[in-house]
Structure 1
């Protein structure tokens, strides 16, 4: 169901102006890192990360200059507020009074008010999740296909062709049932206007003659 190819330069320019997809990619920050989901909380002037279903806590060090510390402060200025975070980095360092070590964060995928993120049963199967508003829509893509959901319409399951875009983006396209559907995802910080949640992808869904803007993130089935 997947195919990988390189798109022409001209095809990228009208899609995400300013996304800098054509710049030379930096060295891969993910090598040797582990992707983890969990909760962030503040304690004694430090930001602590507690992985899902664990009691251990780690002091956060923004080793990859992701802006996580500032993003967390903006989203939860109250020190008592907890956040859900989806991050990649390395666990290590020595045990401290209020933590079991340090989490050197290299990449930020998601940051949002604490909810049921640790309980998502579909995360490991997802390739990509995207959603937007006005009107509300969301797309869940996996190795079994993608499901497009829009306000007031029945869920639309579709097979798709996946193409990688230079710079770390993706396009998912489908021609099933005589209907042309495109989902584009570019690596750019994106803020959900309804919740303030941070995503690492800016997305665009093209369907039924409409172009719908939104945010997204890679699921657990995509290791980057």
Structure 2
């Protein structure tokens, strides 16, 4: 069994507030994955490189339900007009949280570390402006285009009370840390097996790189 630190949640909140990444394991009976989680506003090109080299999963930005509503962001499975979107059954949840994939309009291809870092940080800036009431769907469309190379995720309305995926875990931590409602999540994969990195291996990575590792159950118990 993975050994947890005494107060990993407080350490995780402090790390996020400082713009540092943390590792969040959800639940063995859910996805059973550990994601690297960044506050989106702190991501630089070197961080995107770390996500693709050290994590290896899909680089996504989770946005809160409120931000997604104001920006008119749909659930992707609801707007795909193709038979593949029908009967979208998942083994680990009731529905996917995927929304549109986007690029910032100032990017070139959108896939380079520099391009994705720009898209991610500008998504955080957009999320921060939404509560002020002067930034909406038209403003978003003027800054971002779709399809793109950064996948957006929509958080559940009541976060952990409604759903306990990495989308909601990351957003709940950001809210508790008083950060914009935009976090990067990326699954950690095992290069040898091709499966999700085990919690023990993820904790070892965290220890080697001086990062905070936190269990989803601890986040839910304290923040739900």
Fold shared by both chains (TM-score > 0.5): no
RCO comparison, higher one (Cα < 8 Å, 6+): 2
Tell which structure's C-alpha radius of gyration is larger: 1
TM-score normalised by structure 2 residue count: 0.24
Report the TM-score, using the length of structure 1 for normalisation: 0.24
